[in-house]
Structure 1
Amino acid sequence: MKITVLIAEDDPDMCHVIKKVVEEVEGVEVTGEAGDGVEAITLIKELSPQVVFVDIDLPGKNGVELAREIFDINPWTFIVFATAFSEYRSEAFDLYAFDYLVKPFKLNRLRQTMERIKSVVDGKITGKQVSGLTKPNHPVEKARIFKDNNEYVYLNLNDIIFVTKEERKTIIYHNEGVLKTHENLSDLEKQLGGYPFFRSHKGFIVNLNMLKKIIPCGRGSFELVMANTEKRPFLTWENAKILENMTNSKVL
Structure 2
Amino acid sequence: MSTGIRTILIDDELPAQDEMSYLLSSHDDIEIVATADNAADAIEVIGREHPDLIFLDIQMPGKNGFHVLKEVMSLEQPPLVVFVTAYDKYAIRAFEENAVDYILKPVSSERLAASLERARNLMHPENVGDSGAVLRKLLADVGIKPGITRISVEHSGRNILLNPREVVYFNYECRRVHAGTKAQAYPCASDLTLDKLEERLGGFPFFRANRSQLVNLALVRTYAPWFNGKYVLTMCDDAETEIIVSKARVRAFKDAIEL
TM-score bracket for the superposition, by shorter chain length: 0.3 to 0.5
Greater strand share, 1 or 2? 1
Larger gyration radius, structure 1 or structure 2: 2
Q: Scaled by the length of structure 1, what TM-score is found?
A: 0.46
Q: Scaled by the length of structure 2, what TM-score is found?
A: 0.45
